[in-house]
Amino acid sequence: MPKAGMDMKEGKIVKWIAEVGQKVAEGDALLEIETDKVNMEVESPADGTLLRRYFEDGDTVPVVTVIGYVGAAGEAVPDGPSTAGAPQAAPQAPKEEKPAAYEFDAAVIGGGPAGYVAAIRAAQLGGRVVLFERDVGGGAWLGRGCMRRKSYLKAAGCLRHIGGAAKRGIVLESGGVAVDMNKVHAYKQTVVKKLTGGVAMLLKSRGIETVRGDARLTDAHTVTCAGKSYTAGSILLCGGSRAGTVPIPGIDSPRVVTSDGILSLTELPGRLAVIGGGVIGCEIATAFAAFGSEVTVVELMDRPVPMMDGEVSAAIAAAMKKDGVRLLLGAQVERIEDLDAAVRVHVAGHEPVEADLVLLSVGRSADLTCLGELAGEIEVQRGKVVVDALCRTNIPGVYACGDVTAVSALAHSAFKMGEAAAANALGGRVEADLARVPSCLYTMPEAACVGMTEEEAGGKHQLLVGRFPFSANGRALASGEPEGFVKVIAEKRHGEILGVHIVGAAATEMIAEAKVLMDMEITIHEAADVMHAHPTFSEALMEACADALGRCIHLPGKA
């Protein structure tokens, strides 16, 4: 029985649509239920045969109670219903009894987005919790990575706005603008200190014991840190990630830094070479180009941020080139040569790139040191811990979430996994729903997306595609930020929104609305009719939906 609303506690079966023994396809309606708010159809979760119905028409059933099974013909199923849910995909981790002798109900290794959220959620649920962190509250996400980049990018954005001030009639008397990297660095440190201090306060307010140091598993219920052992009924592995590397000759040069190191600079490099044109590489390239560095990005693929929609990548490439960033695409670094006061980056098929500093930005790899003595027992594939939808590893009582897993390397994904793992560690059954994870790029302009790219969707569905340029948006024009567009991809037959891709000012804020529309299964027909305040950037999303239907008011008619 689905939980169709926050307050829903039970549902009434109005009628079964499928009969026992009937073959069904994923998405077929199995039965109709009535809740206190709506009537709705419950769809089959998979292809198969309806093997068992535990309740019949007119029965009222508590939420999350199993009401039937779909599986292979002849497959054995339980004789009676339960609230345990359907069998989970491998790895299986049977629930075990947890003796009261453990010091803690949950031990969390790692204080990043997954770890500190998991610790707080476990404490909210009444658990005795200990959190281990080698660095600061918030982990590398706050202390060395994501949030520090956003501070630099805001400074870069300020420079861009100042540069455009004259055409608005604002005259700068001093005759120029300069960047003081010491102050940029100091301001960034102030932001980081406030955020990490905030995390520490939240942990303390929940009575969570925090232990500093490198923590490792001794067994499935024991963590060792700083020479002391701690026991817990459940252990949550949230060890995070570390900057990745590649086997390039000369990569160990002192003039080659990772994303951790470059955000600690107090002097601006005159020439910066960036190896890798993914999210981190493009963001840092954008910021340092705005600060005044001569920036070259070398990307192995034929476009920057290649995981994004093709139109988005093209728009970001054009914006970076406009800002003076040199892009070498479809190019491979062969070696790095140290010079007296610089380095020379040799790129196949191109003239060597000389730089004062090289940023190596080729992704991040899971930090699996937290596995400790269980390193050979916990299932790992391609350097990542394998978990199921409940964030369980193959070891009973041991969970994993965030960057140590192969699920998603984004902070907001880690938040959701942390909440789910904490609930499950304390006896619950909560799946981390990561079906539609928004991705954000904080360049200038910004970019954000959720769902399928047009390339992905086109191979599976007949499509409706709508676009609306910010150059036709009143707020964007008044703000002097007309670059970019909103692109909406929908399935033609039913109007299901499959993907939304945005390039432009406020893109990373607007993507939340797209995520809500998709999660609530609002069709493109309904989304096109949602009233938006005017003038706003977000109107462009509604306009793009209307364009997909051929009825956009603020675009010229199509021949």
Q: Confirm if 399 and 431 have CB atoms less than 8 A apart.
A: no
CA torsion, points 251, 255, 261, 266, in degrees to nearest 10?
-170
d(CA 530, CA 488) in angstroms, rounded, equals: 15
Query: Pick from 370, 434, 438, 356: which is nearest to 399 by CA?
Result: 370
Q: Tell me whether residue 462 is exposed, middle or buried, using C-beta atoms within 10 angstroms of its C-beta: 0 to 12, 13 to 18, 19 or more.
A: exposed
| 534 part of the active site | yes
Q: For 357, phi and psi rounded to 5 degrees?
A: -150, 145
Q: Where are the alpha helices (DSSP H) in 426-558?
A: 454-458, 474-478, 507-519, 524-527, 539-548
Strand partners, 211: 132
| Angle formed by the axes of helices 411-425 and 113-124, nearest 10° | 30
Residue found under tokens 């959190």: 131
Q: Which amino acid is at 425?
A: A
Whole-number Cα distances in Å, 390 to 118, 239, 243, 406 = 13, 18, 27, 14
Q: Helix axis angle, 181-205 relative to 113-124, nearest 10°?
A: 20
Contact (CB, 8 A) for 441 and 308 = yes
Q: Which of 346, 412, 501, 534 is catalytic?
A: 534
Rounded Cα–Cα distance for residues 210 and 324 (Å): 46
The residues assigned a catalytic role are 534
